[in-house]
A and B are shown apart, each in its own frame.
With several copies, the nearest count.
Chain A
Amino acid sequence: MSIPVPGADCTVDELMVVTLAREFTNDTRAFNGAVSFIPVCAYLLARRTHAPDLVWAASSIAVDADPDRLAESTLSDAIWTGASMLSNSPFDFWAYAQGARYNTFAFRGAQMDRYGNVNNTVIGPYDDPKVRLPGGGGMADLGGMIPNVYLWSTTHNDRTFVEQLDFRSGLGWGDGGDHRRELGFSGGPQLCVTNLCVMDFHPESRAMRLRSVHPGVTAADVQDATGFGVLLPDDGSVPDTALPTETELRILRDEVDPTSMRLREFV
């Protein structure tokens, strides 16, 4: 389902992809897990615009894949076309992940808290869940191992952004402050891009902080949709999220994801 951005020639999914893509550089070495259309589009878009040396391993397997279009699964071999290496999961992938040879990973959770920790395991108590979710998969591994973590959500509301996770499946900034570093991990969540806004993390408390709101959304809207208090920028003013350029939109629409698989994240 495609949602137009008021007053702009683009949709929310496109705005999210472009925002994320601009964060990546020629030093980004990324991979992806399941149902990760937004970041996959962003890696491909960044590589086709300002970061040609960016590394992306499709499904964590197919290094430098260059598919003509995406498929209905981001773990599918249908997006491995053009790869220069098919790596192996236990021998190659986990070595690169542990060694931070890969340095960038993006995940979303059914719940997220102010410090960018995520839950994809259960709603309710673990032993008597109201909803049994799929499980954390690699989140508990990669949230810590990988220094540059990006979060996204297409359902910015107070059931997703909660004061307290029912279960911490993946590590962001932990309990905030220096907690993540004390656990032995470098880096941490860099940005959280949602259907309403873009949030970064306060450099000391590591709590989510509004960086920009999408056109037509106010800071108050964001706060209403968030189960915890969202910090505002130091100067108090929240700009609109920068819009995509025509070139970015054209490449995203025509080359990266011509069949709009990314809309599967908006259901």
Chain B
Amino acid sequence: MDKVRSLEDAAAIVNDGATIGVGGLSMNGAPMAFVRELIRREARDLTVVAIVSSMAVDWLVAAGCVRKVVTGLVSFEGFGLAPNFRRAAQAGDIEVEEYSEHLLICRLQAAAYRLPFVPTKAGIGTDVLDLHPDTTRLERDSATGELYVACTPLPLDVGIVHAHEADRLGNVRVNPKLIWMDSDIVRAAAATIVTVERMADHATFVAAPEHTTYPRFTVDAVVEVPWGAYPTSLFPEYSHDAGFYQAYLAATREPEQWSHFWKSRVGAPETQGEFLEANGGAETILSIRQGT
């Protein structure tokens, strides 16, 4: 079965009101081209699950796509706070359901493993558990009296991750290997969309089966989008674009500037090529490209 889809067709899988999981970690490996497509089609009322995020959540919030963010962390690291996330949370425009990283991982694993909960010691002694006592229940082991936290399932309607290569059948390779928590998103999702830098022949998967990351039966749609994680990084191929983060943050400080920046550099470009062109084109590509 051919799982190759256009960005448009894949984005149509995400209904308004859906709970989506977005891969990547902070400034690394987020499916940004797909996020931009959601923005362009004006997705609404999404619940966005992102374990550790930066630009992906900030864009979706800026575009008004989001009702609730379920997360451990949303930041621009040393560049500053995620500006739209911060503003919307402070204004009450979005709900923020904060977890720690491992509490969120355990909730996704409970969904993936069809268990009523997955236990962890994460969060014990903090205020995080009190935010959602039904989904992170503090309990005592009946035999030892030890405290643990029972993390209930967090099923995702759609999981979206970015990777290096896929074949038409939906086998996906993260190259050189899976590093961040994307597999927990893939496994907890009813439908999984993977954007990839490039399509690869099925024969290349057979030639190196130890490098296959997601088998075809866990993937529903594959979309080829070169530089699809831009402006976040994709190890080891390209780094995040520090210039974009800085310009974006600067623009949010000036309301007039912001609307121009947002439209010209994020919202308006039709294709991935036009988007990259609007953000420095070849110069940018060459500046973030890394040796492999």
Tell whether A131 pairs with B86 under 8 Å between CB atoms, given A88-B179, A138-B102, A167-B127.
Answer: yes
What CA separation (Å) do A168 and B128 show in the bound complex? 7
Tell me which residues across on chain A come within 8 A of B176, comparing CB atoms.
Answer: 86
Tell whether A136 pairs with B212 under 8 Å between CB atoms, given A88-B178, A101-B217.
Answer: no
A184 within 8 Å of B by Cβ?
Answer: yes
Question: Among B220-228, B235-243, B278-286, which stretch is in contact with chain A?
Answer: B235-243
Interface contact A171-B209, CB-CB below 8 Å: no
11 contacts between A and B (CB under 8 A): A34-B26, A63-B209, A64-B216, A73-B77, A86-B176, A90-B181, A95-B113, A135-B74, A141-B102, A143-B126, A264-B78
Count contacts on B: residues with CB < 8 A to the other chain: 72
Tell me which residues across on chain A come within 8 A of B103, comparing CB atoms.
Answer: 140-141
Interface contact A144-B212, CB-CB below 8 Å: no
Interface contact B146-A53, CB-CB below 8 Å: no
Interface contact B126-A140, CB-CB below 8 Å: yes
B47 within 8 Å of A by Cβ?
Answer: no
Tell me which residues across on chain A come within 8 A of B92, comparing CB atoms.
Answer: 128
Interface contact B112-A179, CB-CB below 8 Å: no
Interface contact B179-A86, CB-CB below 8 Å: yes
Interface contact A134-B239, CB-CB below 8 Å: no
Tell whether A72 pairs with B74 under 8 Å between CB atoms, given A89-B25, A184-B146.
Answer: no
B123 within 8 Å of A by Cβ?
Answer: yes
Interface contact B27-A94, CB-CB below 8 Å: no
In the A-B complex, the 5 residue pairs with the smallest Cβ-Cβ separation, listed nearest first, are A134-B75, A140-B100, A85-B212, A137-B73, A132-B89
What CA separation (Å) do A184 and B149 show in the bound complex? 12
What CA separation (Å) do A90 and B106 show in the bound complex? 10
Interface contact B177-A53, CB-CB below 8 Å: no
Interface contact A131-B181, CB-CB below 8 Å: no
The interface residues of chain A, by DSSP majority, are classed as loop
A78 within 8 Å of B by Cβ?
Answer: yes
A244 within 8 Å of B by Cβ?
Answer: no
Tell me which residues across on chain B come within 8 A of A137, comparing CB atoms.
Answer: 52, 72-73, 100-101
For chain A, residues 104 to 153, give those with C-beta under 8 angstroms from any C-beta of chain B: 117, 121, 126, 128-141, 143-145
Tell me which residues across on chain A come within 8 A of B105, comparing CB atoms.
Answer: 90, 94
Interface contact B124-A171, CB-CB below 8 Å: yes
Question: Among B13-21, B114-122, B253-261, which stretch is in contact with chain A?
Answer: B114-122
Number of A-B contacts (CB under 8 A): 205
Tell me which residues across on chain A come within 8 A of B28, comparing CB atoms.
Answer: 75-77
B266 within 8 Å of A by Cβ?
Answer: no
Interface contact B77-A35, CB-CB below 8 Å: yes
15 additional contacts, CB 8 Å, given A77-B233, A78-B239? Answer: A29-B217, A34-B73, A63-B215, A75-B28, A84-B167, A84-B206, A87-B215, A96-B218, A101-B187, A131-B86, A134-B82, A140-B128, A141-B122, A143-B126, A264-B78
For chain A, residues 49 to 88, give those with C-beta under 8 angstroms from any C-beta of chain B: 53, 55, 61-64, 72-78, 80, 82-88
B202 within 8 Å of A by Cβ?
Answer: yes
Tell me which residues across on chain A come within 8 A of B206, comparing CB atoms.
Answer: 82-84
Partner of B81, one of A64, A133, A143, A179: A133
Tell whether A84 pairs with B25 under 8 Å between CB atoms, given A132-B85, A139-B100, A183-B124.
Answer: no
A189 within 8 Å of B by Cβ?
Answer: no
Interface contact A132-B90, CB-CB below 8 Å: yes
Interface contact B205-A61, CB-CB below 8 Å: no
Interface contact B212-A185, CB-CB below 8 Å: no
Interface contact B98-A184, CB-CB below 8 Å: no
